[in-house]
Amino acid sequence: MQKYIDQLNEAQRAPVLQKDGPMIVIAGAGSGKTRVLTMRIAYLMSLGVDAFNILALTFTNKAAREMKNRIASIVGSNEAKNLWMGTFHSVFAKILRIEAERLGYPSNFTIYDTQDSVRLLGQIIKEMQLDKDVYKPKQILGRISQYKNSLITVRAYFNNPELQEADAMSKKPRMGEIYQNYVDRCFKSGAMDFDDLLLKTNELLNRFPDVLAKYQDRFRYILVDEYQDTNHSQYLIVKALSDRFQNICVVGDDAQSIYAFRGANINNILNFQKDYDGVQTYRLEQNYRSSKNIVEAANNVIDKNKTKLDKIVWTSNDDGPKIKVHRSVTDGEEGRFVAATIFEQKMQNQLPNNHFAILYRTNAQSRAMEDALRKRDIPYRIYGGLSFYQRKEIKDVLAYLRLVINPKDEEALVRVINYPARGIGDTTVEKLTVAANHYKRSIFEVMQHIDKIDLKLNAGTKQRLQDFVTMIQSFQVINENQDAFYLTDHVTKKTGLVQELKKDGTPEGIAKIENIEELLNGIKDFTEGQKEIDGARGSLSEFLEDVALATDLDKDTGDDDRVALMTIHLAKGLEFPHVFIVGMEEDLFPSAMSLNTRSELEEERRLFYVALTRAEHQAYLTYAQSRYRWGKLVDSEPSRFIEEIEEKYLDFLNPMDTSYRYKPMMDIDIFGEIDKSKLRLSKPIGGTPPAYISSQEPISSASIRRLKPMSSSGSNAKSSSVDSNLVIGNIVMHERFGKGEIVNLEGVGADRKAEIRFDVGGLKKLLLRFAKLNVI
Q: Is residue 714 involved in binding ligand ATP (CB under 6 A)?
A: no
CB-based contact 582:627 (threshold 8 Å): no
The residues pairing with 324 across neighbouring beta strands, listed in sequence order, are: 620, 651
Q: Is residue 287 involved in binding Mg ion (CB under 5 A)?
A: no
Quick one: DSSP state of residue 638?
B
Among 15, 32, 86, 740, interactor with ligand ATP by CB under 6 A: 32
Q: Is residue 649 involved in binding ligand ATP (CB under 6 A)?
A: no
Among 12, 31, 34, 291, interactor with Mg ion by CB under 5 A: 34
Q: Is residue 316 involved in binding ligand ATP (CB under 6 A)?
A: no
Distance of closest approach, residue 278 Cβ to Mg ion, in angstroms: 25
Distance of closest approach, residue 496 Cβ to ligand ATP, in angstroms: 48
Q: Which of residues 391-420 bind ligand ATP (CB under 6 A)?
A: none
CA–CA gap between residue 432 and residue 435 (Å, rounded)? 5
Q: In 3-state terms, what secondary structure has residue 526?
A: helix
Q: Which is nearer to ligand ATP, 40 or 200 (CB)?
A: 40
Distance of closest approach, residue 10 Cβ to ligand ATP, in angstroms: 10
Q: Which is nearer to ligand ATP, 293 or 700 (CB)?
A: 293
Which one, of 264, 227, 165, 140, lies nearest residue 599 by Cα? 264
Residues with active-site annotation: 33-34, 225-226, 256, 614
Q: Is residue 265 involved in binding ligand ATP (CB under 6 A)?
A: no
Quick one: DSSP state of residue 593?
G
Q: Which is nearer to ligand ATP, 26 or 549 (CB)?
A: 26
CA–CA gap between residue 388 and residue 452 (Å, rounded)? 41
Which one, of 126, 121, 154, lies nearest residue 139 by Cα? 121
Q: Is residue 512 involved in binding ligand ATP (CB under 6 A)?
A: no
Q: Is residue 573 involved in binding Mg ion (CB under 5 A)?
A: yes
Q: Which is nearer to ligand ATP, 116 or 253 (CB)?
A: 253
CB-based contact 199:146 (threshold 8 Å): no
9 binds, among ligand ATP, Mg ion, none (CB under 5 to 8 A by kind): ligand ATP
CA–CA gap between residue 215 and residue 205 (Å, rounded)? 9
Q: Which of residues 731-750 bind ligand ATP (CB under 6 A)?
A: 735
Stretch binding Mg ion (CB under 5 A), from 30-38, 258-266, 296-304, 441-449: 30-38
Q: Is residue 367 involved in binding ligand ATP (CB under 6 A)?
A: no
Q: Is residue 317 involved in binding ligand ATP (CB under 6 A)?
A: no
State the binding string over 596-615 for ligand ATP (x if CB under 6 A, else -): -----------------x--
Residues present in the chain in total = 776
Q: Which is nearer to ligand ATP, 437 or 730 (CB)?
A: 730
Which one, of 640, 677, 682, lies nearest residue 661 by Cα? 640
Please report which residue ranges of 129-251 form alpha helices under DSSP H.
Answer: 137-149, 154-158, 161-169, 175-188, 194-207, 209-218, 232-242
Stretch binding Mg ion (CB under 5 A), from 29-37, 398-406, 504-512, 728-736: 29-37
CA–CA gap between residue 543 and residue 123 (Å, rounded)? 28
**Secondary structure of 633-702 in the HEC alphabet?**
EEECCECHHHHCCCHHHEEECCCCCCCCCCCCCCCCCCCCCCCHHHCCCCCCCCCCCCCCCCCCCCCCHH
Q: Which of residues 33-72 bind ligand ATP (CB under 6 A)?
A: 33-35
CA–CA gap between residue 118 and residue 129 (Å, rounded)? 16
Name the amino acid, one letter, at 606: R
Distance of closest approach, residue 257 Cβ to ligand ATP, in angstroms: 11
* CA-to-CA dists, residue 21 to 217, 220, 248, 479, 637, angstroms: 15, 11, 7, 47, 51
Q: Is residue 289 involved in binding ligand ATP (CB under 6 A)?
A: yes
Positions that interact with ligand ATP (CB under 6 A): 7-9, 12, 27, 29-35, 253, 256, 288-289, 573, 575, 613, 718, 735
Positions that interact with Mg ion (CB under 5 A): 33-34, 573
